[in-house]
């Protein structure tokens, strides 16, 4: 009888979860789940807004206060107090292991063009791969859906799809994509797996990309980025990346950089075996920070708003294994000066972190039956 590793059983479990149809999510009156918390001189409480989500992955704020929320199993919701609307018209999604319906962002000019961009795992010859799509958002349906990019070659692996999206100030779109469990793909300049890609708004490779063998590749050597955020003051992109056993990283994403995976890492195999003894090498980008043991970082956001003035410029990272919201303070040179826990073991695995137009911090959990949570100031 075949024997599976603990990680192998986890992939099987993650593949089966989307088959369980969750109840329709409900936006309830705010319910306080933790009070009297504080970090960096700011007191806050945690309230739950939405219940009944099944493995949510990403959220986006619509004008007027509605939320768009993706569920990894392949559902998209338009949520507001007292209203839960399923959005139809998604392309076929292969919910496999860690794959499914993933990140979603609005076009920078959404109020005039109603365009949304999202990533998902797409079936094809050989298995599945991460894809990028664009569509026009109607009231309850996506229209004019276009597949802008689809990873090739596809494989049957259930891990490391990525995938986060972020707009740069020049109007180009960054997309992270995991190595799909085949680490050597991350060093192949012709293979988009294990990299950050950069596109124009219509899905073409940005014309001033660094010139790797695949025109969309912006960086190489990324194992599995699940946190991606652009710094408001500078327009620089930062990413958090899953290491293996240890070696989770915070990186400054720079054009043409190679972040070294799997040639360089602070992590080990899940068995404990050494992958490499090298953590740095000339010509490769060093992480700004690394976590060993792993916290499994996911959603990432810079704080900007008036609700928590003491957090201005703070980088907020959600974590899955660590079940923490981590604060990362950067100095004037964008070097890490302090890392601390904003909140730990309160709501479980934190999949996404977003700062709303109201200056409040919104979180998605990924524990099975999940919800949307919000951090509110005590004053």
What are the tens digits of pLDDT across the range 43-69?
A: 999 999 999 999 999 999 999 999 999
Query: Token pair 């007191």 is at which residue?
Result: 43
**What is the tens place of the pLDDT at every residue in 75-101?**
999 999 989 999 999 999 999 999 999
In a domain, 11, yes or no: no
pLDDT 10s digits, 315-363? 999 999 999 999 999 999 999 999 999 999 999 999 999 999 999 999 9
End-to-end CA distance of the chain: 60
pTM, two decimals, is 0.93
The model's pLDDT over 161-215, given as tens digits with 9 standing for 90+, comes to: 999 999 999 999 999 999 999 999 999 999 999 999 999 999 999 999 999 999 9
| pLDDT for 22 | 52
Give the pLDDT band (50/70/90) at residue 23: confident
How many domains in the chain? 1
214 tagged catalytic: no
Continuous H helices in the chain = 6-16, 110-113
pLDDT exceeds cutoff 80 at 4: no
d(CA 140, CA 69): 13
Say if residue 125's pLDDT is above 70.
yes
Instruction: Write down the pLDDT at residue 92.
Output: 97
In a domain, 16, yes or no: no
Residue 228 CB partners (closer than 8 Å, separation 6+)? 164, 165, 166, 174, 176, 196, 237, 238, 239, 240, 253, 300
Asked if residue 5 belongs to a domain, the reply is: no
Task: Give the tokens for residue 139.
Answer: 């009231």
Question: Out of 107, 160, 214, 242, which one is annotated catalytic?
Answer: 160
Q: Determine, yes or no, domain membership for 50.
A: yes
**Percentage with pLDDT > 70 across the chain:** 94
- Residue 169 inside a domain? The answer is yes
Tell me what pLDDT residue 17 has: 44
Q: Which domain holds residue 261?
A: 23-377
Report the C-alpha gap between 162 and 125 in whole angstroms.
Answer: 20
Write down the mean pLDDT value for the chain: 94
pLDDT of 21 higher than 60: no
User: 282 CB contacts (<8 Å, ≥6 apart)?
Assistant: none
Is residue 214 a part of any domain in this protein?
A: yes
Residue 266 lies in a domain: yes
Residue 9, pLDDT > 60, answer no
**Cα distance between residue 242 and residue 351, in whole Å:** 13
Domain presence at residue 160: yes
15 pLDDT above the threshold of 60 = no
Tell me, what CATH number does 89's domain have? 2.120.10.30
pLDDT tens track for 272-299: 999 999 999 999 999 999 999 999 999 9
Is the model's pLDDT at 16 over the cut of 80?
A: no
CA within 13 Å, CB half, 315: 32
pLDDT at 47: 97
């Amino acid at each position: 009888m075949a024997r599976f590793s603990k990680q192998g059983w986890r992939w099987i479990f993650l593949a089966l979860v989307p088959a369980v149809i969750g109840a329709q999510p409900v936006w309830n009156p705010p319910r306080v789940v933790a009070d009297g918390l504080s970090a960096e001189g700011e007191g806050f409480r945690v309230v739950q807004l939405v219940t009944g989500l099944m493995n949510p992955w990403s959220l986006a704020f619509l004008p007027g206060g509605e939320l768009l929320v993706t569920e990894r199993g392949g559902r998209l919701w338009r949520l507001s107090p007292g209203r839960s609307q399923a959005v139809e018209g998604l392309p076929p999604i292969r919910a496999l292991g860690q794959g499914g319906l993933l990140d979603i962002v609005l076009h920078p000019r959404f109020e005039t063009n109603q365009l949304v961009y999202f990533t998902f795992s797409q079936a094809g010859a050989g298995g599945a791969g991460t894809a990028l799509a664009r569509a026009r958002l109607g009231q309850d349906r996506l229209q004019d859906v276009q597949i802008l990019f689809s990873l090739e070659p596809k494989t049957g692996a259930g891990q490391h799809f990525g995938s986060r999206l972020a707009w740069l100030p020049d109007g180009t779109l960054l997309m992270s994509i995991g190595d799909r469990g085949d680490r050597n793909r991350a060093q192949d300049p012709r293979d988009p797996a294990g990299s950050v890609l950069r596109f124009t708004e219509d899905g073409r490779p940005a014309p001033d990309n660094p010139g790797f063998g695949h025109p969309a590749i912006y960086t190489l050597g990324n194992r599995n980025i699940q946190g991606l955020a652009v710094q408001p003051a500078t327009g620089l992109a930062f990413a958090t990346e899953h290491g293996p056993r240890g070696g989770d990283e915070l990186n400054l994403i720079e054009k043409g950089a190679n972040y070294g995976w799997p040639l360089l890492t602070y992590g080990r195999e899940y068995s404990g075996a050494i992958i490499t003894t090298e953590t740095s090498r000339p010509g490769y980008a060093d992480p700004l920070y690394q976590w060993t043991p792993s916290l499994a970082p996911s959603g990432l956001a810079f704080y900007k708003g008036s609700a928590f003035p003491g957090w201005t410029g703070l980088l907020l990272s959600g974590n899955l294994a660590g079940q923490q919201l981590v604060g990362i303070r950067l100095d004037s040179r964008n070097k890490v000066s302090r890392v601390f826990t904003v909140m730990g073991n309160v709501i479980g695995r934190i999949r996404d972190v977003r700062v709303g137009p109201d200056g409040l911090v919104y979180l998605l959990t990924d524990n099975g039956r999940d919800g949307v949570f919000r951090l509110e100031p005590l004053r």
